Amino acid sequence: MVSNNDYKALRKTFDQAADLYQQARPDYPDELFGELIRAAGLKSGDHLLEVGCATGKATISLAKRGFSITCVELGAALASAARRNLAGMDANVIEGRFEDWQPEAGRRFDLVFAATAWNWIDPEVRYAKAWQVLRPGGHLAFWHAAHVFPDGGDPFFREIQSVYEELGEGKPDDSFCPRSGELREQSEEIERSGLFEVVHIRHFDWERIYQVEAYIQLLRTFSGHILMEKWKQNKLFSEIRERLLRRPDRSVRRHWGAVLHVARRISDVK
């Protein structure tokens, strides 16, 4: 579990990877966006608020589907990259903390959503703030792209752990390596807020094949690797290159998973 102070420091690290994020991070499945639109009853022209858009990985897909999107992004470099990526679309990127941001007087949204960002928002604030800016009957949606380890997955990730351990960056012995469909659902947390009722949850899984340098670029967008001492980075990436270049296809196969959560705003809250 990341402590309160740790997550506040860690969430700022992604701005250092703004030049890599759009290309290195995986695209979300089209099916996920279709499921979100159906579950939240969205229609073209609806007003959406995105929490932590980064460079616009999810924003672009929804903007192309005809939605008007306001994005609140903490990182200055990420916000700048998002504005470039969203140029010409009905999307406005605001730099700032979602916890502090306030909409224009009277402005309410049909959907508040976060793609691989919700867990970086202050847990004491995020549900209340989403409830505040949603219209009655509006929806909250979030998901997080995470590494999953299906049966028959690439053995590289188990093999490379010895290098992480040698560098003092290994996983705890009791760390959880979820298989496809085993990522944690947050329905209890949502309903415990007393502000939302869960209407839809669905697991998604997809696979990407990374050539050597593309995989290293991906690692450079993760907070733990961004903060890693330079000599450790060099050692790790050198070992990854050496091992993957020995493979016939010089690549690694990584499986991704996400749990789409969709919840409806409760209008009458005591």
100-116 per-position pLDDT tens digit: 999 988 899 999 999 99
Would residue 43 count as lying in a domain? yes
Q: For position 225, what pLDDT does the model report?
A: 95
Would residue 132 count as lying in a domain? yes
Distances in Å between the alpha carbon of 164 and those of 159, 160, 161, 245?
10, 7, 5, 19
Model confidence pLDDT, tens digit, residues 165-190:
999 998 876 567 899 999 999 999 99
Would residue 10 count as lying in a domain? yes
Model confidence pLDDT, tens digit, residues 138-171:
999 999 999 999 999 999 999 999 999 999 998 8
Assign 2 a pLDDT band (cuts: 50, 70, 90): very low
Do the Cβ atoms of 83 and 23 come closer than 8 Å? Answer: no
Q: For position 12, what pLDDT does the model report?
A: 77
Residues in CB range of 224: below 8 A, 6 or more apart: 169
Residues in CB range of 211: below 8 A, 6 or more apart: 250, 251
Do the Cβ atoms of 240 and 215 come closer than 8 Å? Answer: yes
**For residue 5, pLDDT beyond 60:** no
Domain range spanning residue 40? 4-147+177-207+255-265
Assign 4 a pLDDT band (cuts: 50, 70, 90): very low
Model confidence pLDDT, tens digit, residues 211-243:
999 999 999 999 999 999 999 999 999 999 999
Model confidence pLDDT, tens digit, residues 10-21:
777 888 989 999
CA dist 244 and 251 (Å) reads: 6
Q: For position 6, what pLDDT does the model report?
A: 65
Would residue 172 count as lying in a domain? no
Q: For position 171, what pLDDT does the model report?
A: 80
Would residue 64 count as lying in a domain? yes
Would residue 243 count as lying in a domain? no
Model confidence pLDDT, tens digit, residues 43-60:
999 999 999 999 999 999
Q: For position 1, what pLDDT does the model report?
A: 36
Number of domains the chain is built from: 1
Q: For position 191, what pLDDT does the model report?
A: 96
Would residue 31 count as lying in a domain? yes
CA dist 121 and 50 (Å) reads: 12
Please indicate, yes or no, whether the overall pTM of this predicted structure exceeds 0.85. Answer: yes
- Which letter does DSSP use for residue 44 in this model? T
CATH number of domain containing 25: 3.40.50.150
Q: What is the mean pLDDT of the chain?
A: 94
Would residue 155 count as lying in a domain? no
**For residue 256, pLDDT beyond 70:** yes
